[in-house]
Amino acid sequence: MRGLVIALWFVGAMTTTIIAGASELPTGPRALFEAGNAAYADGDFAGAIEHYEAVLRDYSHCSSEYNLGNAYFKSGDLGLAILHYERAKALNPNDDDIASNLMLANMRVVDRIEPLPSNGLSDLWERVVAPGFFVWYARGFVLLWTLGFLALGWRLFARDTANRRMLGTIAATLLVIGALSGWLGLGASARIDDSRRAVILDYTVDVWSAPEGKAAGASNTALFVLHEGTKVRLLDSTDDWQEIELENGQVGWLPKKSLGEI
């Protein structure tokens, strides 16, 4: 029984180490991040942006995305602020600070687009399988299944009947939870692949019925105008043009350079 207690303690310690280490940056990027924080505190938003972007060139880091959004917001770049708030939200969907600042930024967006009616359960599912959770689900799957099979192996060598039963129960529980984590990871992976979204970065941009805009001739029509900060879903694309869809179902084409992909 003492061996079982030690093993469970080791499992808890191992899990805690993984979770704590995931939020840490290596020494070089951490120094850049802290320099960005110092520049932001001094009101040097251009310097802060430079440091945070240097971190994000090589690392996916929620706090850098969030702070970069703050720096762009202070600089008056609404589209870029919303872009980086959305990227931070994708990494940590349940952070209240990110949600609050994103809401404030969204209030400044000119376009007011009413989304199509949605199912409450589908909204909940989208939160559960948010792209930012993919890494955690994948790690959980590997860790839990490894521990589950270790428990099964230990059970083969256990002589005490009570310990054998307990180890069997623990193994089955770990494997079931691991399978659930893997299933949720697949859902998060599908969101990454299929739900590409972007933010309008230009102050205004015309949305056309086909690629090439005015160059396509009289047969191409400007359907509507979008403004900085509006979020769209990405559909088809050409070399320089992107087909987009709004939350209300409207579809059209605009130049790729007008967008920042979340």
Rounded Cα distance, 249 and 223, in Å: 13
Rounded Cα distance, 69 and 86, in Å: 9
Q: Are residues 86 and 125 in the same domain?
A: no
Select from 74, 106, 138 the last residue of a domain: 106
| Inside any domain, residue 36 | yes
Tell me what pLDDT residue 4 has: 40
Rounded Cα distance, 4 and 10, in Å: 10
Select from 58, 88, 106 the last residue of a domain: 106
Q: Are residues 124 and 176 in the same domain?
A: yes
| Inside any domain, residue 183 | yes
Q: Are residues 240 and 255 in the same domain?
A: yes
| Inside any domain, residue 5 | no
At which residue do the structure tokens 């400044």 appear?
108
Per run of 10 residues, the mean pLDDT along the chain (length 262 residues) is 40 31 68 95 96 93 95 97 94 90 96 74 74 84 93 88 90 93 86 78 95 73 94 93 93 96 90
Six-digit token string for 246 = 């709004």
Q: What is the DSSP letter of 142?
A: H
For 70, the domain range is 16-106
Six-digit token string for 125 = 């599912």
| Residue type for position 198 | A
Select from 87, 106, 125 the last residue of a domain: 106
CATH number at residue 226: 2.30.30.40
Could you give the number of structural domains in the chain?
3
Tell me what pLDDT residue 195 has: 61
Tell me what pLDDT residue 119 has: 62
Tell me what pLDDT residue 8 has: 38
Burial class (CB in 10 A: 0-12, 13-18, 19+), 241: buried
